[in-house]
C-alpha cells in the first residue's frame, strides 16, 4: 500500500502528535510520501523504518497512491482537494483541529484508522464539487471547490448588487455584502454561519445563501446541482472578492461568473461506524440537554 501525507506548516506543530501515526504506518510496512515542508518540521522527531519519499505539489501524485491522509482540520483537508484535483485519490481526514465536519476522525482513533485502511474496512463517500467558469483566468485554472464559491464586497466598500440567474433565467438581485453558493458538503461551513440550511451530502443540490442581505425577505434557497448559476455584480467599488473554499482573488466588477457542478468528485474516507448523522450530533451537540 502507498499513502501520501499532507499537513499545513504552522508554528503550532507538535511532532509528538504524529509519532503514533508513523509508528502504525511503519508497523504495516506502508510506503509513505510526505509533503516536504511538513516533513522538514517533524523530521528530527520521526524515524520511519519503511520506504519514505517526499512531494511538493499535486503534480507528483498519481494513481499509484491508494490514499491521502490529511492531518489537521477541515481547512487542511480543503488544501488536499487542490493537491488531488481529478486524480480520485481517497482522502482520510485526521482531526487535529477544532470542529472537523470533514476531518471527522479523532487523533485517538489513529491506530484503528490505519488498520481500517489496511484491511479496507472503510466506506468511501463521493462528495460532489462545484466548478467556476469565468471570462477571464482566475485561480490559476484550478477553478473547483469542495465547499463553496462566494462573491463578497471588499472590506471598506458599500454593499453590492448581485444579479443571479438560473440557467439564464433571472432569479433575484441580492443587495448584500455578498452571496455564497455551497455544495451539500459546504452547507456546514460558511453558508451555515450565514443561516443557510444543512443539506445531506448526497442530496444533489446547491445552496444559494446571501451574506448580510439588506432585504429582510431574502432567504437561502436550495436548487438542483444540474442548474448553472450565473452572476452579474454591480457596486460603487471597482473590485470585489471571489473565493473558492479558502482561496480568494480580487476581480473587477465587469467579470462574468457562472457556477456548475464539477465533472469529478472527492472520495472521502470514513470508518464504518461513522456517518453524517452521527457527525452532526457530535459536532453540533444535538440531543444533549444543556440545562443540566
CATH of the domain at 33: 3.40.50.10330
Q: What is the pTM of this model?
A: 0.91
Tell me, yes or no, whether 30 and 108 share the same domain.
yes
Mean pLDDT across the stretch 278-289?
77
Q: How confident is the model at residue 192 (pLDDT cuts 50, 70, 90)?
A: very high
Which residue range is the domain that position 29 belongs to? 2-128+265-284
| 188 domain-assigned | yes
Q: How confident is the model at residue 12 (pLDDT cuts 50, 70, 90)?
A: low
Tell me, yes or no, whether 228 and 144 share the same domain.
yes
Active site residues: 74
Tell me, yes or no, whether 22 and 85 share the same domain.
yes
| 71 domain-assigned | yes
d(CA 209, CA 44): 46
d(CA 57, CA 82): 10
* Domain count across the chain: 2
CB atoms within 10 A of CB 158: 10
Mean pLDDT across the stretch 105-112?
82
Mean pLDDT across the stretch 35-45?
88
Question: What is the DSSP secondary-structure string of 141-208?
Answer: G--EESSEEEEE--TTS--EEEEEEETTEEEEEEEESEEEEE-TGGGGTHHHHTTPPP--TTS-EEEE
Provide the CA 217 distance to its chain's centre, in angstroms. 30
- Of 70, 78, 49, the residue nearest 186 (C-alpha): 78
Mean pLDDT across the stretch 93-121?
83
Whole-number percent of the chain with pLDDT over 70: 94
Q: How confident is the model at residue 276 (pLDDT cuts 50, 70, 90)?
A: confident
The CATH number that applies at residue 137 is: 2.60.200.30
| 290 domain-assigned | no
pLDDT at site 274: 64
Tell me, yes or no, whether 120 and 149 share the same domain.
no
Q: What is the pLDDT of residues 58-69, one digit of tens each?
A: 999 998 999 999
d(CA 77, CA 61): 16
C-beta separation of 132 from 149 below 8 A: yes
Amino acid at each position: 500500500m502507498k499513502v501520501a501525507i499532507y499537513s499545513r506548516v504552522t508554528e503550532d506543530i507538535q511532532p509528538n502528535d504524529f509519532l503514533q501515526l508513523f509508528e502504525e504506518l511503519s508497523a504495516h510496512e506502508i510506503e509513505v510520501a510526505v509533503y516536504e515542508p511538513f516533513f522538514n518540521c517533524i523530521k528530527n522527531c520521526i524515524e520511519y523504518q519503511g520506504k519514505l519519499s517526499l512531494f511538493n505539489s499535486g503534480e507528483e501524485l498519481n494513481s499509484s497512491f491508494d490514499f491521502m491522509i490529511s492531518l489537521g482540520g477541515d481547512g487542511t483537508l480543503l488544501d488536499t482537494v487542490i493537491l488531488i484535483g481529478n486524480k480520485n485519490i481517497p482522502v482520510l481526514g485526521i482531526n487535529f483541529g477544532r470542529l472537523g465536519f470533514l476531518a471527522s476522525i479523532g487523533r485517538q482513533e489513529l491506530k484503528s484508522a490505519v488498520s481500517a485502511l489496511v484491511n479496507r474496512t472503510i466506506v468511501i463517500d463521493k462528495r460532489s464539487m462545484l466548478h467556476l467558469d469565468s471570462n477571464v483566468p482566475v485561480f490559476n485554472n484550478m477553478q473547483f471547490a469542495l465547499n463553496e464559491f462566494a462573491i463578497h464586497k471588499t472590506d471598506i466598500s458599500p454593499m453590492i448588487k448581485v444579479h443571479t440567474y438560473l440557467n439564464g433565467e433571472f432569479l433575484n438581485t441580492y443587495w448584500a455584502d455578498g452571496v455564497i453558493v455551497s455544495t451539500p458538503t459546504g452547507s456546514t461551513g460558511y453558508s451555515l454561519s450565514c443561516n443557510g440550511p444543512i443539506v445531506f451530502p448526497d442530496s444533489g443540490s446547491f445552496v444559494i445563501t446571501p451574506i448580510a442581505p439588506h432585504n429582510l425577505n431574502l432567504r437561502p434557497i436550495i436548487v438542483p446541482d444540474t442548474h448553472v448559476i450565473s452572476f452579474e455584480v454591480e457596486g460603487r467599488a471597482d473590485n470585489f472578492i471571489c473565493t473558492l473554499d479558502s482561496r480568494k482573488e480580487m476581480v473587477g466588477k465587469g467579470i462574468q461568473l457562472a457556477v456548475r457542478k464539477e465533472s469529478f468528485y472527492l472520495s472521502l474516507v470514513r470508518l464504518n461506524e461513522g456517518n453524517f448523522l452521527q457527525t452532526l450530533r457530535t459536532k453540533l451537540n444535538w440531543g444533549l440537554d444543556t440545562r443540566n
